[in-house]
Amino acid sequence: MPASETPNLDFAASLFDMDGTLVDSTALVEQEWKEWAKTKGLDSESVARSSHGRRTEDVIRQYFPLADLDHEISTFIRLASSLDQTVAGPVPGAVQFVRGLVPHPWAVVTSAPQAIARQRLAQCGFPEPPVLIGADDVRFGKPDPEGYLTAARRLQANVSDCLVFEDAPSGIESARRAQIRVVALETTHSRNQLLSCVVVRDFRDLQVADIGGGKLRLMIASE
C-alpha cells in the first residue's frame, strides 16, 4: 500500500478474531479437525479445509445435521484439549499490540468454544479479555454479525467507534454486516481473498497512539 493511500483509523474499542488473528493456530485447528474426521470416517483434508473461521457446531452440522450437538461438541472439545496445544503461538506482534491497548476496551470474538479460547489465549501470553464471545455465546456464527454486535454491546461501545481485526473472509463479512470497520491480517489468506479490506502483514505493521477523549489512532505502516 503506497504511503499516500495508507489510512490512519481512529477508534475507541478493538474487537479481535482469535485463530489466525491473535493466535497462529492454523496447524493446530486443522489437526483437531483431522483427528475428529478420522473418528467419524470422513475425509480429513476436506473437513480441515471447511473448518476455518467457523463454529464447531456449524462444521459438525455440515456433516451430521441430525447429530446430538451437545454431545458432539463435548466430544470434540475433549479431543482437541488432548492434543499438544503448544503447537499454537501468538501471531507476530499480537501480544504487544493487545497489551498496549489497556485500559481501552477490547474483546475477542471467536468461532472456538469458550473453553478452548481461554486456554489458547492464556497459553500464548495474552491478558484475559474484558469480553470474550465464543461459539457457545451466539445463536449464529460468522459470517452472521451477531458475535461482533454482542461484543460491542457488552463493551458499551458504538459500532461506529469499533475496529475489527480479522484474518478470514467469513469474519470480515461478519464485521461488515455489523457495520464495523475492518483491518485484515494476511496471516491465513492471500490479499485477493480478503474482500478489499485494509490489509496488513500482521501486527508488526501497526502502531497505536492515544489521542485523548477515549480514542485511539491506528497507524498503518506503508509498504
The 10s digit of each residue's pLDDT in 99-126 is: 999 899 999 999 888 888 998 899 999 9
Name every residue whose Cβ is closer than 8 Å to that of residue 138 and which is 6 or more positions away in sequence. Answer: 55, 144, 146, 147, 150
Distance between CA 149 and CA 166 in Å, rounded? 15
165 and 28 Cβ atoms separated by less than 8 Å: no
* pLDDT confidence of residue 89: 92
Amino acid identity of residue 88, one-letter, is: A
What pLDDT is stored for residue 195 in this prediction?
Answer: 75
Among this protein's residues, is 70 annotated catalytic? no
Across the chain, what does the average pLDDT equal? 90
All cell numbers assigned to 10: 481512529
**Pairwise CA distance, residues 112 & 186, whole Å:** 20
Place of cell 475492518: 182
Q: How confident is the model at residue 138 (pLDDT cuts 50, 70, 90)?
A: very high
Class of domain 3-25+88-220: alpha beta
pLDDT of 215 higher than 90: yes
- Structural element, H or E, at residue 97: helix 94-99
Name the pLDDT band for 3 (thresholds 50, 70, 90): very low
Position 204 pLDDT exceeds 90: yes
19 in catalytic set: yes
pTM of the predicted model as reported, rounded to 2 decimal places: 0.84
Residue among 17, 24, 58, 167 flagged as catalytic: 17
Is the peptide bond prior to 103 cis by the omega test (within 30 degrees of 0)? yes
Q: Which residue has the cell 478489499?
A: 196
Q: Of 10, 19, 84, 205, which is the active-site residue?
A: 19
**219 pLDDT exceeds 50?**
yes
The yes-or-no verdict on residue 193 having pLDDT over 90 is no
24-55 pLDDT per residue, tens? 988 888 888 999 999 999 999 999 888 877 88
Q: Would the pLDDT of 4 be above 90?
A: no
Predicted confidence at residue 51, as pLDDT, reads: 82
Name the β-bridge partners of 217: 10, 209
Q: Which H helix or E strand runs over 174?
A: helix 169-177
Q: Is the model's pLDDT at 1 over the cut of 50?
A: no
Task: Look at 28-32, 123-127, 146-150, 177-181 and tell me which has the smallest mean pLDDT.
Answer: 28-32
